[in-house]
A and B are shown apart, each in its own frame.
Chain A
């Protein structure tokens, strides 16, 4: 029973983190209509840039606030560059063409990371506070609590942004009907820029948070790949769906890897993919997604 409670609670904490990771993915889908397969690599690059500024535990380079500031600044620039040189040209092209394009981008970024930073794993000089927290018999790790808090705050910020601010409403309007939104004076180019910047920022943040718990390496990309499962489960265009999807995935992953691992070693790593298949086969629009997927 205590085991189950432990699995559930740590699942909730990790689930919020997954939700945070998926948020950037959903925002780019809503804002620029791009199904970004390269998203996991955005996180990896963000984490490696953060490592470059922070340094490893033996040889720290910059103080944490300065390093984080520089990291986020460079990821902002990265997002804008990607938007300007690649995705600006793809506005009005079929969704599918941009999908393949993001596959190419994924490959490029993977190669760049492999070339610049190499394949060996690293750790940050500073990271979120570590250590265990005891809640009675339940043991939780501190960095997951921090990432949970972070995810909740960011989710709240984005929900308010999309519901209350003029810019957020404009972005939703142009997601709904781009031509009509343009006619009403919404700046579609600006929307696209903002979405890419926010996407890169969130990817970097997620990369930093995950990497501070599990180390910086290319394997981070596989972890972030679960956003596909999370985003598809929540419905590609719903922020709340992200968090719910993240919770389902994380709790399911915890339970499955605890109870089934003795019989099927490694089932936890594949659980996200199984979930993708299940969701797409049973309810393609996800739990909270808008009804129509695509023109038939």
Chain B
């Protein structure tokens, strides 16, 4: 943390993502922690930890996308789960039906999903707020319906036996290898996302979110900005979907439900809309809560098995968390953190 009174003398330090040695140290410690985490867990002989971590990482990638569309640009998308589904299906279909390499199908899936995102975002010039949310809500169901009726991608049965990715001669099969692959992709996405926020486009997003008219009067094309937000959001969603499909090695349209979209929105709000850190915090927070529910209801820590009580409690607690955050702390967990930081900086003074 930069102490009070510390000034920046040139543009390089001003623009640097990491500004103080304290930040460097905490970043390196955090990275070391992330790398050491699976090994520490492996010794505890609890392998389901790893699949929990992997799904969390995939969710983080997806949420970073939604964070661009909804958190930064303010275009509420309830169809994000549909983007993940579409991306997953494209990856699966290309690698199973045509035998393409995953390193080729993933970008193709991301770009194609982004194009679909453009189509979904197209009405955003005319409709706003929850009208747009309802339009994307309807899009989710229509997309699911269409996918269920396309027989060449397996129809209602979906696609199975999606081949694993590989690097050189190394096939990525185990949870541990997947963890490092996903960690790498997630870190790249986080970097891109937090840099996007500091770029011209990122500032335009925030301007659109806050006020359309001001944005237009600043010479920023509002409609194009909204479309770009949808493009980037859907692209990350598609990427996450592709990873999801090849991690699970199967994909079915029924795996994707509207509740996912709702909880993705919840994650963004709980973390703190419009910030990369907030998105990660939100995902981790809600995913950990679901584990707490598993423990409390006796379904077993990090087991994929769940009993009835844990499922229903999931609905109740997730909903409750969203309601509480919206009504009491609409700026999310990140606001807490900023408050702590501010208090630390000026301690012992109250100003």
Which residues from chain A sit less than 8 Å from chain B, CB to CB?
Answer: 35, 86, 89-90, 93, 95-97, 99-101, 103-112, 114-115, 228, 232, 264-267, 270, 273-274, 276-277, 280-281, 284, 293-294, 296
Contact = CB atoms under 8 A, between A and B. Distances in A.
A97 B127 contact: no
Nearest to A281: B123
Contact of A110 (B127, B131, B145, B315): B315
Interface in B306-339: 309, 311-323, 326-327, 330
5 contacts: A86-B323, A99-B130, A107-B319, A264-B149, A276-B138
B145 A270 contact: yes
Contacts of A296: 128, 212-213
Contacts of B148: 266
A interface secondary structure, majority: helix
Q: Classify chain B: how many residues form its interface, as a range.
A: 35 or more
Contacts of B316: 107-108, 111-112, 115
Contacts of A115: 309, 312-313, 316
B313 A111 contact: yes
Interface of B: 76, 123, 126-131, 133-135, 137-139, 141-142, 145, 148-149, 212-213, 259, 262-263, 265-266, 269, 309, 311-323, 326-327, 330
B327 A89 contact: yes
A267 B145 CA distance: 8
Contacts of B137: 228, 273, 276
B330 A114 contact: no
A280 B327 CA distance: 29
Contacts of A108: 315-316, 319-320, 323
Contacts of A112: 312, 316
B141 A111 contact: no
Contacts of B263: 107
A284 B212 CA distance: 18
Contacts of A280: 123, 127, 131, 134-135, 138
Contacts of A99: 76, 129-130, 133
B266 A104 contact: yes
Contacts of A228: 134, 137-138
Nearest to A89: B327
A100 B309 CA distance: 25
